[in-house]
Structure 1
Amino acid sequence: MNTHTRLTADDPRWAQVMARDPQADGQFVYSVRTTGVYCRPSCPSRRAKPENVAFHASPEAAEQAGYRPCKRCRPNQQPTSRHSTRLSFSIGQCSLGMVLVAQSLEGLRAILMADDAETLLEDLNNRFPDTALIRADHTLEQIVTQVIDLIEHPTAPCTLPLDMHGTAFQHRVWQALQDIPAGQTQSYSEVAARINAPKAARAVARACATNALAVAIPCHRVVRSDGSLSGYRWGIERKQTLLTREQPR
């Protein structure tokens, strides 16, 4: 048994992981070197070997170390009871396809784009599985119009209240994205440096990928270090179109 394995096995947190103790959730997370993910202590996934495990005080610390959240236990989200929150949503049409707007009591929770309504609804359900989703086309008609106007004219500032849900690290990234002026781009490394996490370029990329508020949080303004376009949750063609619209005429 090497030193790291012995230290992990002797750590009280390892016993909580082995027991899948739900009482330990929120106290720490653990990462698995061989999979590149981090989990909450109660995660039901197959147990990792102690030599591959490291402990982190928070999801933010794990992400800064280069790990991504487990899709099964969702350690970057607060535990919730089924349908403990509610979102109203509506679907509209814009020049980039169909757009879904979802709103909580605090503000916009999601702006999603796709080619069809079925894909939008699937995306919304996957992002917010523990949320009651209520279609409210009439109630949200004016807000959908404002969102579509933002997509058509992305140089305009977003004045709608946003209800961003994510880890502290993701919030730092999303705030940095909002500070990138229209018509300009930055690389993932540049964004990482701006939030004082220069080694976290990959975690910045993941935060961009998990952004649920298209255009309002302008992750389309983040590009590769050589200036070329990288992946965009809603399609490279939409990313290119948004960047083109932001260029001075």
Structure 2
Amino acid sequence: MTDDVYWHAITEHDAAFDFQFYYGVKSTKTFCFPSCKSKAPLRKNVTYFSGVALAQADGYQACQRCQPNKKTQQDTGLVKLIYACNKIEQHSEGSLTALQLAKSMGLTQFQINRLFKKYLNVTPKNYIDQIQLNTLKINLRNTDNVSHAIYQSGIESSSVIYGRMITHLAMTPKNYLKGGAGIKISYAMGETRLGQVLMAATDKGLSFLQFGESKHQLLAQLVTEYPNAEIMLMPEQSAPQLEHWLHLLNLYLAGCSNELNLPLDIRATAFQKRVWDFLKTIPYGEVMSYGEIAKAIGSPKAFRAVANACAGNNIALVIPCHRVIRGDGSLGGYRWGEKRKRMIIDIENKLNI
């Protein structure tokens, strides 16, 4: 993580970074959790620590408001979760089941499931799958053999990746191996009420629309997805087109328009296409659950696959995965953050009245 990431976590009081690092305030010689509700200090007065002991050794005292020294000892559940996540990541190139993970920690499968649900809102199996996928992406870029990359990633058979896990890749492993070779992608960046945005397109249409915290982060995401593509800043003759798309995007986010019909050039599995096509039919200002969408596309048991298809969406807003919520009415996950998802739904609800 970079200083920018640390600082953003502090200004947003982001509890997701608690226990990952602590920040000290030089002027008061106190240290805090990133989520501390105290007024954010001046950035020049901030220093970072990876642990409580390091902060104390440097002469810093624990903040009386967020009490980072006490919570470290009390939150045993989070300590267990961090241990479990590290264990999964260390076994990213070998088989590891949720049951094996639970047994290695002296827990039941129910307890390990509850632990992951409480803090991450995913199952251990979801987390294991994601780590394997990340390893697969790395292996695909370091080999010319798809099968070798799959097995090196701890995936037991190629049918698994072509079936259950392919929804995350947005293309087949063979195409992903090529890293977008032979594709020309132009991009432009802008500012919206949801933060920085990067829009990238081929000569056929929009292929990437992502929100992020910085321009460097967004460009890194684009390059990571298409490492062998010819990626360039939008040429001057094409700039008006992308500027027009950005203008439409800002009108939409300002609540001035409920239309965002932009030409797309996307790569998807057959199942992803079914899900994404259906998402675009959900009426503006309305939401549906993963289970309802699964039933609507004729695969009532595939609600988890629907969730994976939403997670694999590279085109924010235009493919409206923000209109998908959990069956209990809660927001559920969102690739660009729950805060952004809530803002978009609120915008659509107000404009729809």
- Alpha carbon RMSD of aligned pairs, Å? 3.0
Deviates most, 185-194 or 145-154: 145-154
The change in CA–CA distance for 1:169 and 1:144 in structure 2 (over 3 A counts) is same
Sequence identity, in percent? Answer: 33
> How many Å separate the matches in 2 of 1:109 and 1:81?
14
**How far 1:55 moved relative to its partner?**
3.8
Instruction: Give the alignment partner of residue 218 of structure 1, picking from 320, 326, 337.
Output: 320
Mapped contact 1:82–1:130 kept (Cα < 8 A): yes
1:46 and 2:144 are equivalent in the alignment: no
> How many Å separate the matches in 1 of 2:218 and 2:158?
37
Instruction: Give the alignment partner of residue 199 of structure 1, picking from 280, 297, 301.
Output: 301
> How many Å separate the matches in 1 of 2:304 and 2:174?
16
Mapped contact 2:179–2:226 kept (Cα < 8 A): no
**How far 1:156 moved relative to its partner?**
1.6
Mapped contact 1:90–1:102 kept (Cα < 8 A): yes
Instruction: Give the alignment partner of residue 180 of structure 1, picking from 259, 276, 282.
Output: 282
1:144 and 2:144 are equivalent in the alignment: no
Tell me which amino acid in the other structure corresponds to 2:222.
L
**How far 1:146 moved relative to its partner?**
2.2
Q: Which residue number corresponds to residue 340 of structure 2?
A: 238
The change in CA–CA distance for 1:183 and 1:76 in structure 2 (over 3 A counts) is farther
Mapped contact 1:88–1:134 kept (Cα < 8 A): yes
Deviates most, 192-201 or 123-132: 123-132
The change in CA–CA distance for 1:236 and 1:141 in structure 2 (over 3 A counts) is same
Aligned positions of 1:3-14 closer than 5 A: none
The change in CA–CA distance for 1:54 and 1:213 in structure 2 (over 3 A counts) is closer
> How many Å separate the matches in 1 of 2:190 and 2:152?
42
Q: Which residue number corresponds to residue 222 of structure 2?
A: 124
The size of the alignment, in residue pairs, is 209
Instruction: Give the alignment partner of residue 268 of structure 2, picking from 154, 166, 175.
Output: 166
> SS of the residue aligned with 1:41?
helix
Mapped contact 1:154–1:182 kept (Cα < 8 A): no
Mapped contact 2:180–2:226 kept (Cα < 8 A): no
Deviations 1:156-213 (A, max 9, x none): 2222211121111111111011011111101111111111111111111111111111
Q: More helix per residue: 1 or 2?
A: 2
> How many Å separate the matches in 2 of 1:240 and 1:47?
35
Deviates most, 77-86 or 135-144: 77-86
Tell me which amino acid in the other structure corresponds to 1:229.
L
Q: Which residue number corresponds to residue 105 of structure 1?
A: 203
Q: More strand per residue: 1 or 2?
A: 1
Mapped contact 1:84–1:132 kept (Cα < 8 A): yes
> How many Å separate the matches in 2 of 1:205 and 1:76?
23
Give the alignment's TM-score, normalised by structure 2. 0.52
The change in CA–CA distance for 1:220 and 1:162 in structure 2 (over 3 A counts) is same
Instruction: Find the structure with the greater CA-based Rg.
Output: 2
**How far 1:137 moved relative to its partner?**
6.7
1:209 and 2:315 are equivalent in the alignment: no
> SS of the residue aligned with 2:210?
strand
Q: Which residue number corresponds to residue 121 of structure 2?
A: none
Tell me which amino acid in the other structure corresponds to 1:152.
A
Give the alignment's TM-score, normalised by structure 1. 0.72
